[in-house]
Amino acid sequence: MGTSLTFKRTVDLSSRQCEQMRRLFFNVFAREMNESTFERRFMWSPMGYSYHGLMLHDDEIVGSFSAIPYRYQCFGAERMFALSVDTMISPQHRGDKTNLVTMAQLAYEAMIKDGIDFIYGFPNELYYAHEKRILGTRDIGKLNYYVLPINIGTAMQKFKAMNYPSRLFAKIMAKLPASRDMRKRESNIEKINDERFIKHRYDQSYDFLSLNDGRTVFKIYSEQGGTKALHILDVWPMTPAAMDETVRSIS
C-alpha cells in the first residue's frame, strides 16, 4: 500500500490507531504512554478531541503531528488556541521533509475550520531548529528555569562534597523574610485556569498545595542520570507572595 498522509480528530481514531500512536510514542521518545493517559491528553480537551495529521505506511501509523485545543483569555475575549505536542516520525520513515509539512498543514486546515486562532509549542532542543526551518514557526518567547539546589552533588558528582552546604543554603533561603507583594502579574493573554483545565492537564501523579490565597501544582521527576527534581508547574494567582510561599512550603 505504501505511504499515505491523512487527518483525524481523536474521536475518529480507531482503538487500533490509538494503540499504534502510543506504540510510536514509545519508539520515538522511549517513554510509555498508557491508554488512560492518551485519552486524558487528547480527548479531555475543551472540544472533546485533538487534531492529528498522520503518516501511514501499509496501514500503520508511522508519523504524527498533534495539537490540543485550550481556552484562553486574549485581550478581553475568550479564544481557542492549540498546543502542538508529540510531533514524531518513526526513524525508518524519516528523510522526506514534505511529510512533516503535509501532516502539519492537514491539522492546520481542520483547526481553522473549527475557529482556532493560534498554534504554539515548546519544541525540544533536537526539534527546535528543524521545526523553524521546515514549518516556518517563529519565536515568541523563552521559557526560563530557576533552580534551588538541595543536594547539588547528586546532579554533579564532582561537587558531592558540597551537598551539606547546598542543603544549608536552601534552608537559609527558606527562612528569609517572606514576600508580601500580592500584586498579580497581569497579562493580555492568559490560559483559562478553571477546573476543566485542571482535570485535563493533571492526573493523580501531580501534587497540589493550597496557599493562603490560591494553590500550586508540582511533580517530582527522575531526570537524566537518576537525579530527582521537583518541578513547580503552576502557581495561581501568579504573585511574588504566592511563589515565595510555594517555594518555602515545598522546601
Reported as a single tens digit per residue, the pLDDT across 136-146 is 899 998 888 88
Say whether both 33 and 130 belong to one domain: yes
* β-pair partners for 69: 82
Q: What is the CATH number of the domain that holds 37?
A: 3.40.630.30
The boundaries of the domain holding residue 243 are 177-250
The residue among 135, 163, 188 that closes a domain is 135
Q: Are residues 28 and 120 in the same domain?
A: yes
Stretch 186-209: mean pLDDT: 92
The total of structural domains in the chain comes to: 2
Report residue 1's pLDDT band, with 50, 70 and 90 as the boundaries: low
Residue 188 in domain: yes
Per-residue pLDDT, averaged over 44-50, amounts to 96
Final residue of a domain: which of 103, 118, 135? 135
